[in-house]
């Protein structure tokens, strides 16, 4: 790892001010992607601004049908929340399958979505649950937030502070993990929203990162069943092709994962 300067932020404002006075800083939350990336010298920020101790960014709040998860809430905390599980078990189950138990004690939802790894799990859930991403500057619709592989709508000095979404009528996430890395080779989060809409978020497969599958959404809106999406086409041209799986294989996986998710939804 190249040299860096560590700073612990006490508040969102403090983090922004520390970012402003540094040369080429990065925010770090759990660091479960950033630290390994720095160890490999694929990233070399001059400064690290630690958001993990910002109290206002922690915790899960449920207000009627609205769920708000603070950005510094760990995967383990999302997985273990009984209140959240009562109204949206799918997001708890998704969090419980990210990485491994030790990674889940450090990694956070804000870090995951701000990094927008093309194989990360949370972005698919945010897309399907029609989440609003709150930052220190504004609120961003999830459809506008993820802009490409490892790219988001965030400015350099912008921090995800929380995500908010309505509890769905039904939802589930199904992923096919790479047998070695356990990252999703295809992961599909399906959600039947209480306003009648159906949304389908796909991760691990898209050449530009997470995406929604609108044909499946249309089919599921009419009939929430795995048979309704049997004839939907997943275009392999838009998918990743690598040594683990070519794009045609991934296209099939997306369909299979979507069907399994619909069948598992509750």
Partner 1 sequence: MASISMTVNGKTVGGEVEDRTLLVEFIRENLRLTGTHVGCDTSQCGACVVHVDGKAVKSCTTLAAQANGSEVTTIEGLANGDLHPMQQAFKDNHGLQCGFCTPGMIMAATDMVNRLGKDLDEKTIRTELEGNICRCTGYHNIVKSIQDGASKM
Q: Which pair of structure tokens corresponds to residue 172?
A: 């589930």
Ramachandran assignment for 108, one of left (phi > 0), alpha (psi -120 to 50 degrees), beta (any other)? beta
Return the range that interacts with partner 1 (CB under 8 A); candidates 24-32, 110-118, 136-144, 200-208. Answer: 24-32
Return the range that interacts with partner 1 (CB under 8 A); candidates 13-21, 27-35, 126-134, 204-212. Answer: 27-35
Q: How far is the CB of 76 from partner 1 (least distance, A)?
A: 7
- Main-chain dihedrals φ then ψ at residue 228, nearest 5 degrees: -65, -25
Toward partner 1, which CB reaches closer, 99 or 118? 99
CA–CA separation, 216 and 200 (whole Å): 7
| Strand blocks (E) in 150-208 | 151-152, 160-166, 170-177, 184-192, 198-203
Q: Annotate 201-214 with b (16+ C-beta within 10 A) or e (fewer).
A: bbbbbbeebbbbbe
Q: How far is the CB of 112 from partner 1 (least distance, A)?
A: 15
CA–CA separation, 174 and 121 (whole Å): 10
Site for partner 1 in 176-205 (CB under 8 A): 182
Q: How far is the CB of 99 from partner 1 (least distance, A)?
A: 7
Ramachandran assignment for 54, one of left (phi > 0), alpha (psi -120 to 50 degrees), beta (any other)? beta
Tell me: does residue 6 bind partner 1 (CB under 8 A): yes
Return the range that interacts with partner 1 (CB under 8 A); candidates 3-11, 17-25, 54-62, 114-122. Answer: 3-11
Q: How far from 158 is each of 12, 20, 26, 114, 190, CA to CA, in Å?
A: 10, 11, 11, 10, 29
Q: Which pair of structure tokens corresponds to residue 233?
A: 């086409």
Binding residues for partner 1, rule CB under 8 A, total: 27
CA–CA separation, 93 and 258 (whole Å): 16
Toward partner 1, which CB reaches closer, 75 or 213? 75
Q: How far is the CB of 200 from partner 1 (least distance, A)?
A: 27
Site for partner 1 in 50-109 (CB under 8 A): 50, 52, 76, 80, 99-103, 105-106
How many CB atoms are closer than 10 A to CB 144?
10
Site for partner 1 in 118-157 (CB under 8 A): none
Q: How far is the CB of 15 from partner 1 (least distance, A)?
A: 15
Q: How far is the CB of 32 from partner 1 (least distance, A)?
A: 6
Q: Cα 37 vs. chain centroid, distance in angstroms?
A: 19
Q: How far is the CB of 51 from partner 1 (least distance, A)?
A: 11
CA–CA separation, 51 and 68 (whole Å): 18
Toward partner 1, which CB reaches closer, 78 or 128? 78
Q: How far is the CB of 132 from partner 1 (least distance, A)?
A: 29
User: Where do contacts with partner 1 occur on this chain (CB under 8 A)?
Assistant: 1-6, 8, 28, 31-32, 35-36, 38-39, 48, 50, 52, 76, 80, 99-103, 105-106, 182
């Amino acid at each position: 790892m190249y040299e860096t300067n560590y700073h612990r932020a006490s508040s969102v404002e403090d983090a922004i001010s520390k970012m402003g006075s540094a040369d080429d800083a990065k925010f770090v939350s759990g660091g479960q992607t950033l630290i390994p990336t720095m160890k490999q010298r694929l990233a070399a920020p001059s400064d690290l601004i630690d958001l993990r101790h910002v109290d206002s960014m922690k915790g899960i709040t449920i207000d009627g049908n609205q769920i708000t998860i603070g950005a510094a809430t760990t995967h383990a905390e999302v997985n273990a929340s009984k209140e959240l599980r009562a109204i949206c078990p799918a997001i708890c189950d998704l969090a419980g399958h990210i990485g491994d138990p030790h990674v889940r004690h450090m990694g956070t939802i804000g870090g995951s979505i701000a990094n927008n790894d093309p194989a990360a799990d949370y972005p698919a859930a945010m897309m399907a649950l029609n989440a609003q991403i709150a930052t220190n500057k504004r609120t961003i619709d999830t459809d506008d937030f993820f802009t490409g592989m490892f790219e988001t709508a965030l400015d350099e000095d912008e921090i995800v502070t929380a995500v908010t979404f309505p509890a769905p009528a039904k939802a589930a996430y199904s992923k096919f993990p790479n047998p070695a890395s356990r990252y999703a080779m295809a992961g599909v989060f399906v959600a039947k929203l209480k306003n009648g809409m159906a949304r389908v978020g796909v991760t691990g497969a898209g050449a530009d990162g997470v995406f929604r599958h609108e044909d499946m959404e249309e089919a599921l809106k009419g009939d929430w069943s795995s048979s309704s999406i049997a004839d939907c086409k997943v275009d392999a041209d838009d998918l990743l092709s690598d040594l683990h799986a070519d794009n045609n294989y991934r296209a099939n996986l997306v369909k299979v994962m979507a069907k399994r998710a619909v069948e598992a939804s509750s």
